[in-house]
Structure formats: C-alpha cells, structure tokens
Amino acid sequence: MVKELSLAIILGLIIGFVVTGGVISLTKNKNPATKNTTPTPTITAITTSPSETTTSDTPTPVQTLTISSPVNETVVDTDKQTITGTTNPNATIIIATSNDSITATADQQGNFSVPITLDVGINGIQVVSFDPTGNHQEVDLTVTYSTAKI
C-alpha cells in the first residue's frame, strides 16, 4: 500500500514537472518584441572618387504579410480550414498550430493557400513569412472550431 502511494506521488510529480516545463517553453517563445518588425528604407552615399558622390535611392524591400482567411477571432463549424493570404513573392510561409507545423512557399505574386486541420475549441495559429533576403513578418490568429448549433 505504501509502495503504491509513493509511486503515485513520484509519477504525479514527474508529470507535473513535464507539463510545467512545456508551458514555460511555449510561453517563452511568444516574445512580443520580435513581432511585426518592419525594416525601414535607408539611403546610402557611395563615394567613387574624392570629387564624385553617388546616392542610392533604392529602398530596402518591406516584408508584408496579410491573412485574408480565416478572419482572426472567428468561430467556424468545420475543422478543415485554409489559411490564405499574400506576402512577398517567393517567400517561405510557416504555419504553426498546437499540433502541427506546415511549410509552404508563396507564388510569384506573393499569394499562398495552405490547408490546415483545427482541434475542437480555441486554436492558436501562428503564420510567419520569410522573404528570400531573410526579412520576416508574423501574424497570430485565434480561430475557434465548434460543433455546437448556434
């Protein structure tokens, strides 16, 4: 009897520590300082000789990411959804849900469409776009999947 009780307490502690560690690692990755960073254009002077100066007016490309579907904080009645939106052409798209991570590539116009499967209840979805030069943009969505009749 005492052995079983001791074993149950030890297993309970181990499971508790594992769950706590998982929650801490998930919340640590949600650093708001790294979200929605947009590079600003710069103008640099290039000196070719002591008497001649040329100016480059080419701005640094701005990374964009717009999600058109599904709408943030919406309730849906089917678990099969498609994340659609636009970003920079040929950008790499990473979509992370609580149980899956999907990688896709935007087309020549920057359009993308990625099917996902939702869990019942509230689903946090993180969409990150990386352009070929390494710039990135991130959008977080919350979509609730419910089978209840409203």
Q: Distance of CA 101 to CAs 2, 114, 139, Å?
A: 44, 11, 15
Domain that holds residue 107: 62-145
72-96 per-position pLDDT tens digit: 999 999 999 999 999 999 999 999 9
The verdict on residue 54 lying in a domain is no
The verdict on residue 124 lying in a domain is yes
| Cβ count within 10 A of residue 129 | 24
The verdict on residue 123 lying in a domain is yes
Tokens matching residue 86: 């636009």
Return d(Cα 81, Cα 85) in angstroms, integer: 13
The verdict on residue 136 lying in a domain is yes
The verdict on residue 68 lying in a domain is yes
The verdict on residue 15 lying in a domain is no
Tokens matching residue 117: 């499967």
14-57 per-position pLDDT tens digit: 777 666 766 666 666 555 444 555 555 555 555 555 545 445 55
97-133 per-position pLDDT tens digit: 988 899 999 999 999 999 999 999 999 999 999 988 8
Q: How many structural domains are present in the chain?
A: 1
The verdict on residue 125 lying in a domain is yes
CATH label of the domain that carries residue 90: 2.60.40.10
The verdict on residue 127 lying in a domain is yes
137 backbone φψ class: left, alpha, beta (φ>0; ψ -120 to 50): beta
